[in-house]
Copies of this chain bind each other. A is one copy, B any other.
Amino acid sequence: MPNSGSESVDDYLKAILELSGPTGGPATSNRIAQRLGVSAPSVTGMLRKLSTGNRPCVTYQKHHGARLTNEGRRRALRIVRRHRLVELFLCEVLGYSWDEVHEEAERLEHFISGKLEERIARKLGNPEFDPHGDRIPSKHGTLPKRKTVRLSEAPAGQTAVVSSVSDRDPEMLRYLQRIGLVPNRRLTVLEHAPFEGPTMVRLHGERQSRGISPKLARAVLLQEI
């Protein structure tokens, strides 16, 4: 059964992947519970399940959180690939705007067969980025890293390309789109304001965005040029 893994399992693996961050550190029960909107005891039960079997998806020590195994990371990245392919497909083929796609993709990602995944990817020309600028993992569940920094942590004078923005808040997405802060847009950070006050950025020398609050700034990832 290469394609085992319920909707729930998919969600847990994705959550652990995202909570582990680039460091691959452990994801704690509470963070997982919070992200998935389930109770902490539910998480404990699922982690125990995921860490057993002949090819466990996570390593798990009581009270010390969970990490993905290679198998688990591969699975998680395949779900992420499907999520991002679906998002891009909805935008490119069905005229969705980028703030509408997350919810649909969150549901559909669990039900995209390998064949459908391939057809969608082919239709889109085997794309590298989703509509939010996030990289699309390979069909084998791999994703080489790039060096990125949060907008809120970028020093004044930094020139970079918007790498990605969180796709979880439609209102924020519309705001960012309105001020021109979209993926692959080149920009220069005018003022570094890590804790409060506006961060101003110049976009490609033409337009200027003001009043990016730290909260918003934290949601934007820059990729160094």
Contacts and interface: CB of A to CB of B under 8 A. Distances in A.
Contacts of A55: none
Nearest to A96: B119
Interface stretch (A63-71, A104-112, A133-141): A104-112
A124 B107 CA distance: 22
Contacts of A95: 119, 123
Contact of A107 (B96, B107, B113): B113
Contacts of A96: 119
Contact size class for A?
10 to 19
Contacts of A115: 100, 104
Contact of A94 (B94, B100, B108, B123): B123
Identify whether the interface residues of A are mostly helix, strand, loop, or mixed: helix
A94 B119 contact: yes
A108 B107 contact: no
A46 interface: no
A16 interface: no
A193 interface: no
Contacts of A123: 93-95
A120 interface: yes
Contact of A111 (B100, B108, B113): B108
A120 B90 CA distance: 10
B93 A116 contact: no
B116 A94 contact: yes
A3 to B, nearest CB: 12
B104 A120 contact: no
Nearest to A120: B94
Given A94-B120, A95-B123, 6 more contacts: A90-B119, A93-B123, A94-B119, A94-B123, A100-B115, A107-B113
21 contacts: A90-B116, A90-B119, A93-B93, A93-B123, A94-B116, A94-B119, A94-B120, A94-B123, A95-B119, A95-B123, A96-B119, A100-B115, A104-B113, A104-B115, A104-B116, A107-B111, A107-B113, A108-B108, A108-B111, A110-B111, A111-B111
Interface of A: 90, 93-96, 100, 104, 107-108, 110-111, 113, 115-116, 119-120, 123
